[in-house]
Amino acid sequence: MSQAYKTQIDAARKGIFTPQMEQVLEDEPISKQDLMDRVAKGHIAIPANKNHLNLKAAGVGQGLKTKINVNLGVSKDVCSFDAELNKAKMALDYKADAVMDLSVSGNTKGFRKRLVAEVPVMIGTVPIYDTLTRTQKPTEEVTIEDWFETVEIHAKNGIDFITIHAGLNSKCAQSIRTNPRLCGIVSRGGAILFEWMAKTGNENPFYEHFDRLLDICEAHDVCISLGDGLRPGAIKDSTDAPQIEELITLGELTKHAWGRNVQVMIEGPGHVPLHEVEMNMKLQKKLCHNAPFYVLGPLVTDIAPGYDHITSAIGGALAAMHGADFLCYVTPAEHLRLPTADDVKEGIMASRIAAHAGDLAKGLKGADEIDHKMSKARGTLDWDGQFKCAMDPEKAQEYRKLSQPSEEDVCTMCGDFCAVKRVKALL
């Protein structure tokens, strides 16, 4: 990275068009000037650690395509880094825009380095998890130095964005005590910090020493994804006082980070009923000054384990329509187990559908072109054309092969009753 600027936001404010900005512009319906203006304001983030040498940069934010993220990583019970790396490569095959390593067991540093070396999309982590894994200490014995040493390691390893639950301060912790929830705290990072604060009597180290965090992020150009430690894990808990209290704090931290030339994304809920999704998107954009919004789901019902990729896609499409910029995928295994490779594919495809549906709904320039091509192919019974337009051509072709029609130009659903075939010559 040129010494003329330290971070992407710093470069944009100085009028420098970086190689990463050029890569973003290649794939987005936005002008060069609009891109630079929005990066300078913090309304677009380009997570691009200067140590991630093979990165093909992507932008997240206003006026860009809705991006999707894939979570992976090992646990104590299921620990195969090779399997997780294969999932990462599958994510690339199915056109995910980002990969997050949430590993909580084993040689996390070694796996993280492999991931950065082999995966060219933006990569995220949660250093809070890795601090417990790395130090092997009980939560209350972790020191402030331990917390920040992990962040430094991740930054040096080339991680492009880190989730830090800096907004869960003592005031927010008190709020969740005085506003009881049906499902408490469901964020792993939020729960770890809440436990550390409760057992040590100290303030959240990332809130209290936020400038120290910014020093690390500025030095390596790491984007902070301000985590929602108090996101709702139940429909009943959606949009409650603790969630909003934390969101207000995240907005304050966002402005401070921008003042230090550090890029920010805001993480959002969570479990949210359909009628509150739009309100949540608008609240975040208002309270966090139009920073890019990264949402988990949202999941619009609590009762579909095994199908939560669908509950998430429903919420994700609505969220993207109303301003969400980045969707974290949810797999059918959510709430049940570590996802398999098949689960990962299902989660990716559901999120991609949601993201594209959101882009269509908000009128993103050029988003509907592929839909029109598909419609033309359907209207002319051009099956090869339909497969080329499909998000998952292999699956579409497999379905057609499994049930061959007696007449090649139709399908086995309608056969001779095919509406398109009957009126094709009449229109």
Which residue numbers belong to the known binding site for substrate?
Answer: 71, 100, 129, 165, 187-189, 228-231, 267, 294
Q: Do 70 and 119 form a contact (C-beta atoms < 8 A)?
A: no
Give the H or E element holding residue 359: helix 341-361
Buried-state track 91-116, b at ≥16 Cβ within 10 A, e below 16: beebebbbbbbbbbebebbebbebbb
Q: How many CB atoms sit inside 10 A of residue 288's CB?
A: 24
The Cα 269–Cα 293 span in angstroms is 10
> Six-digit token pair at 343?
């689960």
Q: What is the largest CA-CA distance in the chain?
A: 78
DSSP 8-class letter at 117: H
Q: Do 374 and 386 form a contact (C-beta atoms < 8 A)?
A: yes
The Cα 78–Cα 74 span in angstroms is 6
Buried-state track 367-404, b at ≥16 Cβ within 10 A, e below 16: beeeeeebeebeeebbbeebbebeebeeebeeeeeeee
Annotated binding-site members for Zn(2+): 271, 335
Q: Do 66 and 320 form a contact (C-beta atoms < 8 A)?
A: yes
The Cα 283–Cα 289 span in angstroms is 10
Q: How many CB atoms sit inside 10 A of residue 141's CB?
A: 12
Distance (Å) of CA 300 to CA 308, 310, 349:
9, 9, 18
Separation of CA 374 from chain center: 28
Annotated binding-site members: 71, 100, 129, 165, 187-189, 228-231, 267, 271, 294, 335, 411, 414, 418
22 in helix, strand or coil? helix
Distance (Å) of CA 26 to CA 41, 60, 130, 175:
21, 14, 35, 45
Bridge partners of residue 271, in order along the sequence? 299
DSSP conformation letters of 29-69: SS-HHHHHHHHHHTSEE----TT-TT-----EETTSPPEEE
Angle between helices 308-321 and 341-361 in degrees, nearest 10: 20
Annotated binding-site members for [4Fe-4S] cluster: 411, 414, 418
The Cα 227–Cα 208 span in angstroms is 16
Q: Cite the DSSP H helix spans in 158-201.
A: 170-178, 188-200
